[in-house]
A and B are shown apart, each in its own frame.
Chain A
Amino acid sequence: MSPTNTNTKVMNRFDVTSRLVAKLKNEEAVIGGIGNTNFDLWAAGHRPQNFYMLGSMGLAFPIALGVALAQPKRRVFALEGDGSLLMQMGCLSTIAALRPANLCMIVMDNGLYQITGAQPTPAAAVSDIVAIAIGCGISNSVWAADEQDFERLVGESLSASGPMLIGVRIDDKAGVGTTRRDPVQIRERFMLGLGVRQAL
């Protein structure tokens, strides 16, 4: 359908998310976007440096950018769905302009609003998220060819000198778990995990 992802395998969000989490050894922050994206992050095993969005569709990358600016020595990952990114595509230009070296964005692209009944997004048949990111100025944007390539790209991102975006084509499966919907506790535990707060 699109020029940059003709040879990519269709993967699974939970599997790919679990592979990401398994590679994190240095208290990297992970922001999980709305819905299935953070459900699978939750299901992959809660970490103190995980943040789960319960609304504000499209803001995983902006929130991650804020964390990355506040803590430039910490690597920050953001997981976002393709439909979510479509809601806030302008953030790619903001991130390209600021060039945070410690930010890696991962787009889970199934071309669907899976959680609302698997309706296709307007982009599904016509748009290439990685090409869009490159066009926005994030030159280090690539599709993961398969699971091994995804792991290799995540490894590469851990020492990248500029922002990176990894596109992952995924299937239409729902998320595996369900995040506990307790926003205050999610935020407080995240701040504890980032060393910003001390427990009472």
Chain B
Amino acid sequence: MAAAAEQSSQQASAARAWHEVVLQTLKRNDIRLVPYVPDRVLTTLIKNIHADPFFTTFPTAREEEAVGIVSGAWMGGMRGAVLMQTSGFATLANVLASLAIPYQIPLIMFVSERGTLGEFNYGQSLVCRTMRPLLDSLAMEHHTATRLDEFEFIVDRSIKQAIATQAPVALILSPLLTGGKVFDK
């Protein structure tokens, strides 16, 4: 019975798209505030979060601003997560080092990864190379999600760990998971 339930749960999980996993896992962890700077890959996720009254979601002018907003909200008792793409993450070194980490704020970031696995813009491929060295230089927790079957585990556990340890986490959404952005026009 238990094995059957587990199997059926895995099938249900496999049937969901990656963005459905993000939305549902945010909800389950009571993460209501989702400021973002948009990205093509995040389009459906952003649309669905807007459509769900559980969330307070809106665009910001810069990723740094969104980090400030969720940091303030955390201190006021409301959980948040920031959505961005790789080039936006590259603007965050100062706010990570001077706000999120030293003040011990569980900043949860979803970073849609551009610059690899079929990138067509040289600048994107270069800025992508700064992302993991920056995360590593600050000894920040980060995971690159490549597989749908592991994705919910990674997202759910990472959110819980960030909150329990009061430390930021970056969840990098690989093109292997999302399909990425491919050269069109």
Q: Do residues A66 and B61 form an inter-chain contact, with CB atoms below 8 A? A: no
Question: Could you say which residues of chain A place their CB within 8 Å of the CB of B72?
Answer: 31, 62-70
Residues of A within 8 A of B (CB): 29, 31, 51, 53-59, 61-71, 74, 88-91, 93-94, 97-98, 183-184, 186-187, 190-191, 194-196
Which of B73, B75, B80: most chain A CB closer than 10 A?
Answer: B75
Are the CB atoms of B98 and A70 closer together than 8 Å? no
Chain A residue numbers with a CB within 8 Å of B33 are 66, 69-70
Q: Report yes or no: B76 in contact with A71, Cβ–Cβ below 8 A.
A: yes
Chain B interface residue number, banded: 20 to 34
With beta carbons under 8 angstroms apart, the residue of B61, B68, B80 that contacts A56 is: B68
Interface of A, helix, strand, loop or mixed by DSSP: helix
Residues of chain B having any CB pair with chain A under 8 Å: 33, 35, 56, 58-62, 64-78, 80, 94-95, 97-99, 102-105
Residue ID in chain B nearest A90 by CB atoms: B61
Distance between Cα atoms of A97 and B62 in the complex (Å): 15
Are B69 and A63 neighbours in the complex by a CB distance under 8 Å? yes
Bound form: Cα–Cα A64–B59 in Å: 17
Which partner residue on chain A sits nearest B105 by CB separation? A187
Q: Are B65 and A59 in contact, with the CB atoms below 8 A?
A: yes
Contacts A66-B33, A69-B33 given: A196-B65 contact, CB under 8 Å? no
Q: A70-B76, A196-B76 are in contact. Are A54 and B61 (CB under 8 A)?
A: no
Bound CA–CA A66/B59 (angstroms): 14
